[in-house]
Structures are given as C-alpha cells and as structure tokens.
Chains A and B, each alone.
Chain A
Amino acid sequence: MPRSAKWRSRTCGRTIEQNRDPLVNNSPYFLKPASVQSVMLRVLVALLPGIAAYVWFFGAAILLQIAMASIAALAAEALMLALRGKPLMLFLSDGSALVTAWLIALTFPSIAPWWLAVLGTLLAIIVAKHLYGGLGQNPFNPAMVAFALMIVAYPQLMSQWPAAGATDLAGQLHAIFGTRQIDAITMATPLDALRTALHTIDAKASVAGVLGSNPGIGSVGGKGWEWVAAGYLVGGLWLLQQRIITWHMPTAFLAALFAIAGVFSLIDSTQFAGPLFHIFTGGAMLGAFFIVTDPVSGATTPRGKLIFAAGVAVLTWIIRTFGAYPDGIAFAVLLMNIAAPLIDMYTQPPVFGHKDKRGDSP
C-alpha cells in the first residue's frame, strides 16, 4: 500500500505533500527516456526499407497483408488482455503485437488468401504469446510459430509467391480474396524451385541449371528478392546503430550461413547453392536482423547470442538443403528457442572481479 506522509516544511512556510509510495520513490529517481514502445516502433520503422522494395517489385498486396495482420494482432491482443485482466491501453500500445504481425505478413506469401496471415497472426498472439504469459514470457518466437503451423497445415498456399514484376493490384486482390484463379501471377521462390528440382524432378539437375533457366531468379538471390533483402539489411543496420540489437546475432547468423553454404558449394557446386544465394534469398536477411534477434525467445548473453544465431543458420541451411519445406528459418528458430535457456546457462559471462584465478583466492 502506498503510504502517504504529509510533512510541513516550517522554514519554507508551506506543506510539502510527500508521496511515500515506496516504489515510485526509490532510487534511481529518474530514468532514461526509453520504453518498450519506442523499441518496438523503431523495429517497425526499420522494416520500412524492405517493405518499400517489396512493394516495388511485388506489388502493393503486401501492404494489405500487413494491415490485415496488424488488425488481427491488435484484436487478438485486446481480447487476451481483457481475458487476462491486464491494462488494455498500456499493453496494446507497446507495439509488440504489431511487430509480430508485420513479421508474419512479411514471411507469408503476399498473395496468399487473406485468412492465412490472419489465422497465423491469431495463433501467434493468442497461443504462442498470451497462453505462455504474454509479453516477455513466450519461449517461442510467435511469428515463427505461426509460420511453422501454417506451412505444415497449408503447404500449398504457403508456397504461392508473387512473381517479380507482377504488380497488378487487381490480380493480387483477386488472389487474396479468392475471387479468381491465380496461377498467372504466382511462381515458386528460387529456394522452392531449387529444392523441387534437385530433390524430385531430375536427379541430374544442377544448381546453375535450375537458377539459370528460371526467369524469376535474379543475379544473386532471386529477382527482386535480393533488393528486398537489401532493404532489410539497411533497416537492420539502422537498428544496430540505434543500439536496439547488438552485432552478435546478425553477424553470427550471416557468417555461419555463408560459411556452411560456402563450404558445401565448394565441395559440390552442382548440388549446393552458393553462400550469396543463401544469404540473399528467402527469409535469411529478415531473419538475421529481425527474427533471430527477438530478445524474448533467444539467448541473451553475448556468447550465447553467437551460438544461438549460428545454430539457427546451420539448421536453416540443413532444412533448406535436405528438408521437405522450402525455407527452414522458422523451424530452425523454434528449435534453437528450445535450446536458448540452456545456452544462456552455459554462457554466463564472468562477473566483475571473478575473471581470473586471482579473483577467487587473493
């Protein structure tokens, strides 16, 4: 209970009412102007360059998906907050639900039926976030839970990606709302094309052959997609500069992915795609700066972050190369989420004065 003690300052000649609520008034008495909201908002801002490139190459459908996912996220968040008896405005305005929604929209195909991302978002917010205790308590990355669930449940729909340049909005809207057949504007992503070709169609197919013959695949990671990735890179670097994320995760993720892809493509470049392809394709760049860096479900110690992100990268490559699904980031992240507490436990940095033998026995 906040105690209130009034005391009269005789020499000042007036009463100073002193609020003795112990938690309002304990040191430190002033705080750095920082908030969860400002962190989340800056993450959203950092996504904008990537989104802009997305719209440019693949049409405005993504904006609609983002809007729908956002509304679904806020609605689900409000519902769960109300059910859990939490202050509504405080948590609704923290921006965390929006970040989840945007990541879902950006990892789902932008011309998939509208309910796909909405359903994914509802699952992410209600199940992966609130049933685990809400903000800060979720052991799994909610956006990745949504992706994993939906790709298992609707593998076909989750593979309907827009073709670069097919930016016709009317066609995209038809696709999203299911009002017309959509084959004309979709195509497989490079990762998908590669996986399908190498695994199923033709035992003699080679990476160069698949990528070279596919008109939708650009010079590095897929036509248009490499620019979207570049947009994420720009936003991610800004997040680094804003000190919202540290260098550990993106660096370890990209370096590990580059390394493992590089080694295998050196061994057999016909069967394994090169490192640049892996980095600039699929969700790699988004993952490096916006997904593996989720602080709640990831590792937190400096060394732990390196291990966590490198682990995600290696698993991603393995799933991409040998797995049944086109992109492996979601599963890789979820697998590493399980390991995160253990990684943290074994990578505790030494505390002040305990760094060497001397600290223990002077």
Chain B
Amino acid sequence: MTALQRLFKFHGGVKPAYNKEASTGLPIAVAPTPTLLVIPLHQSIGGMPRPLVTAGERVLKGQRIGGADGNVSSAVHASTSGTVIAVEMRLMPHTSGLSALCVVIEPDGRDEWIQRQPFDFRSATPTQTRDYLRDAGVVGLGGAVFPTYLKLNPGKQGKLDTLVLNGAECEPFITCDDVLMRERAETILKGVAIMREMLRAGQVLIGIEDNKPEAIAAMEIAAQAANRAAGDSAIKVVSVPTRYPAGGAKQLIRVLTGIEVPHGKRSTDYGVQCFNVGTAHAIYEAIALGQPLISRIVTVAGNVGLARNYDALIGTPMRDLVALCGPLPDSDRVIMGGPMMGLLMPADSVPVVKATNCVLVGSKQLFPPPPPEMPCIRCGECAKACPAELQPFEMYWFSRAKIFGKAQEYNLFDCIECGCCAYVCPSHIPLVDYYRFAKSEIWARELEKEAADVARERYEFRLLREEREKQEKAAKLAAKTAAGREKAAAALAVVEKPATTPEEDAKKALIAAALERAKAQKELVHPGNVSDLTPEQQAEVAAIEARRAEIREMAKPHLRQDD
C-alpha cells in the first residue's frame, strides 16, 4: 500500500545525524508524579487562559485550572489531584528566562480524577465539539501548540480533500511520536476517525519518515483495521524519505500531496489540513475517554546514560525527567525540542509543557560551540538547503544591515526557522538568529506604525469634527431664516446627517467623537491591524511578540560585535 502513493520532493533539507536509536530501545514509561507540579497557564499559541483556581483550593486530576480566553486560546488542567499552593509567576520553559503565571500544585498522591465522560461529538454541533476540545486543552503536540479546535474546521467548502497526519518526526534525537505510533497506533487511528468525521475528509495520509520501520508497520496494521471497520480504504500510511525537515507541516503536505501552502494561507483553502500523531491521540483521549490533555510523551535524550520516552504529567520539572535518565557529568544545558530548532532552557527546573516533545540534555562535546563566525562568501549552500526556497544569504545581508524592508522583499516571513541554512553554512553564521532578530524588529516597527496611524486618524477625526461643528453652526444660523432652509439641508447633506434638529446633531457628533476616541485608545493597546488577521496570523503575532524583547537583547551585542 505504501508503494502506491506518489511522492513529491521538497527543495533543500539536510541530513544531520539522527541519533534516534538511543531512545527507542525501551517502551514508554510513566514518569513518577513529582513532588510539585508547576503548570503554566499559557501553554498554547494565542490568548493567556484566565486562572480558575486560587491558592489553597483542592483540585482533582483533569480539573480545569485555566479557562480559554479569546478567539485563540486553549484551557489548561490540573495534571493530578492535590492542593493549589500558589498561583504565581514562575520561570517559563523559554530561552528568554521570562516568568509567567503558573498554578503550583502539591500532589496528594491519590491521583483522583474528575468525573470523566465521553463526549458524544456525533450529536453535538461542530461548534460544540470545538468548544469542548478547546476546554479540554487539546493543542498541536508537534511543538507548535496551536489550539487544535481551530484547525478542526473544514473551511469554506465544508469538506476537506486530504487529512495529513504527521508522524514524520524529522528532528534528530526526538522519538516521542515514533514510540507513540509503535505502542498506541490503534488509539491514534481512533483519533483520526474523529478528526476525519469533523473535517469531512476524503482521504487520510499518514506520513512517516522511512527511518521508523516499526512505527510504519504498527500504523499500517492499525490503518488496515480502521479501513476495514469503515469499509473503505481512505487511510494510507506513507513512508516518506528521511530528510530534515520532512516533518514540517508544509513540507509534509508538499511531499504527500504536491500542494504548496504559501505562508500566511490556510491549508484548508487548499483542501488539506495537517495534524501531529500525538494530537490525534489527544483528541481520542479527550472525546472518547473524556480526559483533557494533562500529560504527553516526552523524549529524554542527549547526554544521558539511558535515553527513553516518558509519559509525563504536564508541569513535571524537566530535571525530574533528566534525573530518571542519568545525565552524564559533563552535561551543561537542557534544550526543549531537538538540536535543529529546540529552545535552550533557562534552568532545568522549568516544567514540561504541552510543547515539550523532547528534553535534550547537552554538553560541550555533544553540541560544541560553533567555530568563529566568518563573513558570508555567497557560496549558496544555504539557498541549496532552504526548504522554503529562500535566498538566506540575501536575507542575512539585509537583516544584518538592518535594511528590513529589503529582507522582507526576500520573503523573510516565509522562513520557517528550520535552521538548515545555519547548519550547512561554511562560514558558521548564526543565520536564524539574524532572521529572528529581523522579524521581531519588523513586527515592532509595524506595531509602532499602527499606533502612529491611529494617532493620526484621531487627529484627522478631530479636524473633521471641528469642521462639522462649524457647518452645523452655519446650518443653525441658516435655519433661523426661512429663506436659508434649503441651504441648511444642503449643509447637512454634506456631513451626511439624517434630518434631525441641529442640537441633536451636535450632541450625536460629540458622542460619536467620544466613542471614536475610546476606540482609538483601545486600538493603541491592541493595534488595529491585528484584529482582522486569521487566527494563524494572530498566533504568529503573539509568538513573535513574545520573543521580541528577548531577541532584541540577544541580537544586540552580536550585531555590534563586528564592523
């Protein structure tokens, strides 16, 4: 079956050492409940959930402790039963070392669940199902943590051609999807069945890199069973060539369907939507078992004695997982994610969150500091490696020179920050850092410009209002004389006002002006252009915003460093 699927190539990509075998030798183990759970409220892209509990409160396993806020947001839950000992700022699993609001829970050891009820999504409306999944905290588990309910929408046509399931897992070291597919293929496919129904998807293509034969075999068996049960052959497991970043959503969609979804476009508009296998599993647990997302599979690998995958509660300190694997003495850092795109953690005490697919322990030997940066020799290696088919060295050049407009002309925002360019660069230029810096600067300027535009609009509105008031006064004057009646009507027509008395007009204008002022003020806080973006774009703005301060600081000394 796998051989029948026609595959497409994506441009570029690299073949780093995969280092995956180390953590696939043993089955998934359940990580012990830690002595303290620190559960960040903000674990998905989008709005920060509101805390629903206060210190001192007892919570049950699966109880909602953070409620989704806004259009793009996702709930969070207590991972076990216990007592909330604090709702306070704690260090986040993010390179910046920023703190954010977390619910700190002291487990009581009883692991007592809330009442769990399967959700009958068949008799619910799609909106109800989506709301349910939002409140169950299901987000994309591939690392992007995009709220899943937003993607379970078939779009304009009301149906989807292809549902792509991403089991490619192309980042070195990470094997959480691999072992999940090996061990829980059946439940993944049950999740797929739910998604398929919600999206009215024609076919399902499960893409897995060909360096995971066990996972492919397991998924194949489960897919055949699912096809038999459904009486069709809609689900196909497709083995895709191993090449980083084959697991990037856009790359995988391209490889499996030949469709290229441009930056900033919804893939549903192209009749395709892509989910991680872990997400399918979480959907199954949420809908069929009534269990919100409170744990995930985490690969612990790198500079450790025994790499392994753990089923870890959200909120477990990373160091607890690391300790289970025996970190080697020369360990010097903890990275969340893989070596190509992972984030360096500010400390090993930060908690496992929904985005934590891997806790990678590093050392100088494993990840040696890069050789000194040299000037770009325009060799084009980066362009050959870029899966987004960009000209990385041009973007680098303009980012470094802070000619951001030009960098944008070279499609800076199509860069997926996969790191392929920096990986191959013979001059060892930290290219991705430059792009992060440039993107954050561009967003900052954009927001500033928006703010300035709003201020200008306010000013122009005031002029308009003054003008109108003048006209209204003239109209009033004119109204006093019977001969001026028609003239008054004309003046009123100019300002597009209904035929009301001039006094009312002035009042209304004042009210309108006040409203407009209030709106403008609000927009100063939330610049206007953000409001009519797609959820994906909003999410991107949010993510970029979050990184801004950090990146600015990081990039500054560097940009000063030479020349």
Contacts and interface: CB of A to CB of B under 8 A. Distances in A.
On whether the two chains bind one another, the answer is yes
A206 interface: no
Given A11-B323, A28-B432, A29-B362, A352 B262 contact: yes
B524 interface: no
A300 B381 contact: no
Interface residues of A, number: 58
User: Which 7 A-B residue pairs are closest in the complex by CB-CB distance?
Assistant: A353-B262, A11-B323, A136-B375, A22-B554, A28-B419, A362-B269, A29-B367
B379 interface: yes
A35 B374 CA distance: 9
Contacts of A219: none
A137 interface: yes
Listed residue (B269, B343, B391) with the most chain A CB atoms within 10 angstroms of its CB: B391
A14 B348 CA distance: 12
Contact of A34 (B261, B381, B554): B381
Contacts of A244: 379
A34 B14 CA distance: 13
B519 interface: no
Interface string A93-114: 0101000000000000000000
A204 interface: no
Interface in A7-52: 7, 9-12, 14, 16-20, 22-32, 34-36, 38-39
Contacts of B374: 35-36, 90-91, 94, 135-136
Interface string A191-224: 0000000000000000000000000000000000
Contacts of A14: 329
A171 interface: no
Interface stretch (A146-154, A159-167, A331-339, A343-351): A343-351
A352 B10 CA distance: 9
B379 A301 contact: no
Contacts of A349: 389, 391
Given A36-B374, A352-B387, 17 more contacts: A5-B97, A11-B320, A16-B348, A17-B332, A24-B369, A25-B333, A28-B432, A34-B381, A35-B371, A35-B428, A39-B377, A91-B374, A135-B377, A136-B376, A136-B378, A246-B380, A352-B388
Nearest to B414: A351
7 contacts: A16-B331, A32-B14, A352-B387, A352-B390, A353-B261, A354-B262, A360-B262
Contacts of A5: 97, 346-347
Nearest to B554: A22
Contact of B348 (A9, A246, A352): A9
B486 to A, nearest CB: 49
Interface in A135-190: 135-137
A27 B418 CA distance: 9
B339 interface: yes
B311 interface: no
- The main secondary structure of chain B at its interface with chain A is loop
B485 interface: no
Given A36-B427, A300-B391, A26 B380 contact: no
Nearest to B433: A26
B335 interface: yes
Contacts of A2: 557
B319 interface: yes
A300 B332 contact: no
A136 B389 CA distance: 22
B400 to A, nearest CB: 12
A351 B344 contact: no
A5 B427 CA distance: 28
A31 B14 CA distance: 11
A360 to B, nearest CB: 8
Interface string B382-421: 0100011111011000000000000000110010000100
Contact of A137 (B375, B425, B554, B558): B375
Nearest to A350: B389
B250 interface: yes
B498 interface: no
Contacts of A10: 319
A296 interface: yes
A2 to B, nearest CB: 8
A35 B424 CA distance: 9
Nearest to B371: A35
B11 interface: yes
Contact of A39 (B347, B383, B426): B426
Interface string B327-345: 1010111010101111110
A359 B97 CA distance: 38
A12 B433 contact: no
A26 B414 contact: no
Interface in A242-280: 244, 246
A353 B424 contact: no
Contacts of A362: 265-266, 269-270
A10 B34 CA distance: 13
Contact of A18 (B319, B332, B394, B554): B332
A309 to B, nearest CB: 14
Nearest to B397: A136
A36 B371 CA distance: 11
Nearest to A39: B426
A30 B16 contact: yes
B422 A28 contact: yes
A7 B347 contact: yes
A38 B427 CA distance: 11
Contacts of A36: 374, 377, 426-427
B448 to A, nearest CB: 24
A18 B260 contact: no
B347 A31 contact: no
B322 interface: yes
A31 B370 contact: yes
B423 interface: yes
A205 B183 CA distance: 84
Contacts of B335: 27, 29
A287 B361 CA distance: 49
Contacts of A352: 10-11, 250, 254, 260, 262-263, 387-390, 414
Contacts of B424: 31-32, 34
Contacts of B337: 27
A96 B426 CA distance: 13
B241 interface: no
A34 B426 contact: yes
A300 B558 contact: no
B419 A300 contact: no
A246 B383 CA distance: 12
A323 interface: no
B372 interface: yes
Nearest to B19: A30
B414 A9 contact: no
Contacts of B557: 1-2
A357 to B, nearest CB: 11
Contacts of B348: 7, 9, 16
A241 to B, nearest CB: 15
B13 to A, nearest CB: 12
B339 A23 contact: no
A359 B262 CA distance: 6
Contact of A295 (B14, B371, B379): B379
A7 B334 CA distance: 11
B471 interface: no
Contacts of B320: 11
Contact of A9 (B260, B322, B340, B368): B322
Contacts of A136: 374-378, 427
Nearest to B418: A28
B349 A23 contact: no
B126 interface: no
Contact of A28 (B322, B331, B340): B340
A292 B46 CA distance: 50
Interface string B81-101: 000000000000001010000
B345 to A, nearest CB: 9
Nearest to A19: B332
Nearest to A90: B372
A14 B419 CA distance: 32
